[in-house]
Amino acid sequence: MGSSSLSEDYRLCLERELRRGRAGVCGDPSLRAVLWQILVEDFDLHGALQDDALALLTDGLWGRADLAPALRGLARAFELLELAAVHLYLLPWRKEFTTIKTFSGGYVHVLKGALSEDLLIQSFQKMGYVPRDNHRLTMAALPPACQLVQVALGCFALRLECEILGEVLAQLGTSVLPAEELLQARRASADVASCVAWLQQRLAREEEPPPLPPRGSPTVFQTQLDLYRDLQEDEGSEEASLYGGPSPGPDSPPPELACRPPLWGQSAKLWGARGGAWEPLGEAEVLPQAGSPPYGALKEEPEPEPDAFSFLSLRQELLSRPGDPGRSGRASPQRGYGPSPPPPGYQAHGCLAPGALPTLCCDTCRQLHAPHCATLPACRLGHALRVLLGDTQQRLWLQRAQVDTLLYDGPGARP
């Protein structure tokens, strides 16, 4: 199975989970088993996935006295990176995903304790982020959907690689050995058993393991936590978020849609406050700007949430509209001034193939869209987008669009 086939299977897994109301990292056990087996037999698959496995693993394990907890920390870091790429792929219009705070939250708790700053910046640059100042990464240009899937799949493969290396250490019976020997044995072996045998022979020839190279203690990064968060909140808490903020903003999804990664909890602290809509940054805007307010500091008025659709409310709405032919004996006078009324009814956009169900609904231009419609970037700028969850809701909204089409496009319909 090639990398392109794996990418397609991974993409289908993400979209299948989104239809079930979950926007998170891949949890398909069958895809996990297949990728695990391929990676065990062929470490070079990481090269085809372009996930920089050797550089990231060497950086995360170098100088660690005990490799087992280091591998667990790396797995959590790769899961958080995967989650960031998945969010941009599935929910690119979400405003809080345009800025990542590098001074608190999951960036400090999970990422900086496992990987160096340079490699973290390189990983986020693949997702379209650039450093805006010393405290934030900001979205400069959203990459193509296929690139985001590739980045997320690479992080998924790195998570599995950490688990494979952990299995090697468990069968070896010790996790105190140089990282370069573990990685060398892993690359030279075609399965876990041969990797363990290679390490056993290597360790048997060495009476005393070589001294570990110097490495800064991970506690260096923990000194920043007291500057931004309550000490009691940091101790014993495994919640991690890249976006910061004390509570979800008005545009945050309902609890059933919010991702709940298994390695750290989910709470109201995960999502940041609501900020501005996503716009590509120019070259001048990427440079640090002194005195600019932090992301989410400006408050906006919440937009009214459209009412849930039902055919009874649709009939009542149609009967109450002034000027509809055949609805009343007298037509209400039309106003000559003021803003024009919104477009009548909802319509299925041309991106929906016949028989396909919509996954997105724009309540501003009143159109139903496929997940990767080419016109969605225009809808992200101030429009009210909602995710249609489950086949039942998607079919209901598609039926509404068909009813609206019959009412307004049929014979005798209002111009």
| pLDDT of amino acid 232 | 37
152, 9 contact by CB (below 8 A): no
pLDDT digit string (tens) for 323-358? 444 444 444 444 444 455 555 688 888 888 887 888
**Res. 385: pLDDT tops 80:** no
Return mean pLDDT, the chain. 74
Domain 2-207 belongs to what architecture? Up-down Bundle (1.20)
Amino acid at 304: P
The mean-pLDDT minimum among 27-36, 64-73, 102-111, 199-208 falls in 199-208
- CA pair distance 337, 315, nearest whole angstrom: 27
What are the strands, taking DSSP E only, across 25-143? 99-101, 129-131, 136-139
Give me the pLDDT at residue 240, please. Answer: 58
Instruction: Determine the pLDDT at residue 408.
Output: 67
Region 303-309: mean pLDDT is 47
DSSP β-bridge partners for residue 101: 136
Which of residues 289 and 409 earns the better pLDDT score? 409
Once rounded to an integer, what is the mean pLDDT over residues 298-323?
Answer: 48
Select from 180, 154, 157, 208 the least CA-distant residue to 67. Answer: 180
Q: Give, as one character, the DSSP assignment of residue 349.
A: -
Task: Copy the structure tokens of residue 202.
Answer: 């290597």
Helix axis angle for 67-90 and 145-172, nearest 10°, is 160
At 331 the pLDDT is 41
Q: Residue type at 70?
A: A
Asked if pLDDT for residue 298 goes beyond 70, the answer is no
Percent of the chain beyond pLDDT 90? 42
Comparing 11-20, 179-188, 203-212, 399-408, the range with the smallest average pLDDT is 203-212
Phi-psi category of residue 393: left, alpha or beta, with phi > 0 → left and psi -120 to 50 → alpha: alpha
Q: How confident is the model at residue 49 (pLDDT cuts 50, 70, 90)?
A: very high
- Contact present, 158 and 53 (Cβ < 8 Å): yes
Residue the block writes with tokens 């794996």: 6
Looking at residue 386, its pLDDT comes to 79
Written as one string, the DSSP assignment of 155-224 is HHHHHHHHHHHHHHHHHHT---S-HHHHHHHHHH-SSHHHHHHHHHHHHHH-SSPPPPPP---THHHHTT
310 against 244, higher pLDDT: 244
DSSP reduced 3-state for 307: coil
Torsion of CA 150, 153, 154, 159, to 10 degrees: 170
Mean pLDDT score, 386-391: 76
Percent of the chain with pLDDT strictly greater than 70: 64
The answer to whether 39 touches 189, Cβ cutoff 8 Å, is no
User: Are 275 and 245 a contacting pair, CB within 8 Å?
Assistant: no
**pLDDT tens profile 144-173:** 999 999 999 999 999 999 999 999 999 999
Ordered by start, the domain boundaries in the chain are: 2-207, 347-409
Q: In what order do the strands lie in the sheet with 367-369?
A: 347-348, 367-369, 360-362, 385-387
- Terminal Cα distance for the chain, rounded: 55
Residue from 406, 84, 135, 136 nearest 270 by CA: 84
Between the alpha carbon of residue 269 and those of residues 15, 197, 257, the distances in Å are 26, 46, 16
Nearest-angstrom CA–CA distance, 289 and 56: 31
- The type of residue at 194 is S
Q: Is residue 230 within a helix (H) or strand (E), and if so which, with residue range?
A: none
pLDDT, position 208? 53
Starting from the edge strand earliest in sequence, which strands make up the sheet with 99-101, in order? 99-101, 136-139, 129-131
Counting other chains too, the contacts that 224-228 makes at CB distance below 8 Å and 24 or more residues apart are 224/103, 224/104, 224/108, 225/104, 225/108, 225/109, 227/103, 228/103, 228/104
The answer to whether the pTM exceeds 0.85 is: no
What is the pLDDT confidence band of residue 366, given thresholds at 50, 70 and 90? confident
If one compares 280 and 102, the residue with the highest pLDDT of the two is 102
Q: What is the Cα–Cα distance from 185 to 168, expressed in whole angstroms? A: 10
Which of these, 85, 105, 81, 67, lies nearest to 159 by C-alpha position? 81
State yes or no: pLDDT of 287 exceeds 80. no
On whether the CB atoms of residues 54 and 183 are closer than 8 A, the answer is yes
pLDDT at 285 over 80: no
- What digits encode the pLDDT tens for the residues 218-255? 333 333 332 223 333 443 444 456 776 543 443 444 44
Higher pLDDT, 387 or 83: 83
Comparing 115 with 330, which gets the higher pLDDT? 115
C-alpha–C-alpha distance, residues 118 and 81, integer Å: 14
Q: How far apart are CA 219 and CA 350, in angstroms?
A: 54
The reported pLDDT for the residue numbered 337 is: 47
